[in-house]
């Protein structure tokens, strides 16, 4: 089975292609360099266009993070994870709140399918608490604990079930890095370069601060995709990150 041992120099920035029209997503992807960024494909684009744009991005050499946040009964999630593995994505996610049985089924499906197809195993990561949610929002939907406690609990569950890491706010990365060590992947949305608006994110942080806190990968959408020059916006972020650290896996 393939592994990630030979894939340790991946770009930190994952550009979120949150478009409903695949032509716009692919046009932007054509302007970007796979050596400078990975790409994130989420629900909007995937529901509108299906897997074909993802295949084209993979063929172009991009690391593709499939951000569909699977959350269902264990068998359904396992089948979805097998399909994502066969698609050839580099990383995808499930909701850690789906519970132990679901997470274990997801992990087993990824491993078995990777062996079956003889390719590299994608990273499987868990979603902890969405970055659009704060303490008050969690209380409103029935969670007694706050964001920090919820993130820590769900990240621990994901780690115990053999997942490769979690999606979390960069404000929680220092805590998670200390708790789970350097090999646990931390993927952080809610990244906004200094001087940009937070949009609909409740917990935001700059790229430099996110990396300083221990983030491995930074999901950045509108500050790049809606910039007058997306390539220049990405280059500016990468230049700032290069002054902070060397690329991690």
Catalytic site residues?
Answer: 69
d(CA 177, CA 184): 7
What DSSP designation does 142 have?
A: T
Could you tell me if 53 and 41 are in contact, meaning their C-beta atoms sit under 8 angstroms apart?
Answer: yes
Of residues 125, 51, 133, the one with CA closest to residue 88: 51
Could you tell me if 186 and 165 are in contact, meaning their C-beta atoms sit under 8 angstroms apart?
Answer: yes
Torsions phi, psi for 224 (to 5 deg): -105, -50
> How close are the terminal C-alpha atoms of the chain, in Å?
19
Torsions phi, psi for 22 (to 5 deg): -60, -25
199 C-beta neighbours (distance < 10 Å), count: 13
């Amino acid at each position: 089975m393939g592994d990630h041992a030979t894939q340790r120099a991946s770009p930190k920035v994952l550009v979120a292609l949150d478009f409903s029209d695949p032509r716009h997503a692919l046009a932007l992807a054509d302007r970007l360099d796979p050596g400078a960024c990975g790409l994130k494909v989420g629900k909007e684009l995937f529901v509108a266009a299906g897997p074909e744009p993802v295949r084209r991005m993979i063929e172009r050499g991009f690391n593709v993070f499939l951000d569909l946040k699977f959350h269902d009964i264990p068998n359904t999630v396992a089948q979805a994870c097998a399909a994502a593995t066969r698609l050839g994505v580099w990383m995808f996610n499930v909701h850690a709140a789906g519970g132990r049985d679901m997470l274990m089924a997801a992990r087993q499906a990824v491993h078995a399918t990777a062996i079956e197809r003889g390719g590299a195993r994608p990273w499987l990561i868990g979603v902890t608490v969405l970055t659009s949610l704060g303490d008050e929002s969690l209380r409103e939907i029935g969670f007694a604990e706050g964001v920090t406690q919820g993130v820590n609990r769900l990240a621990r569950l994901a780690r115990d079930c053999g997942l490769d890491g979690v999606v979390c706010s960069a404000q929680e990365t220092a805590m998670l890095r200390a708790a789970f060590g350097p090999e646990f992947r931390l993927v952080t949305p809610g990244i906004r370069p200094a001087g940009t608006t937070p949009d609909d994110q409740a917990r935001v942080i700059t790229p430099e601060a996110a990396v300083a806190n221990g983030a491995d990968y930074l999901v950045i959408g509108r500050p790049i995709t809606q910039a007058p020059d997306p390539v220049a916006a990405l280059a500016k972020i990468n230049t700032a990150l290069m002054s902070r650290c060397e690329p991690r896996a």
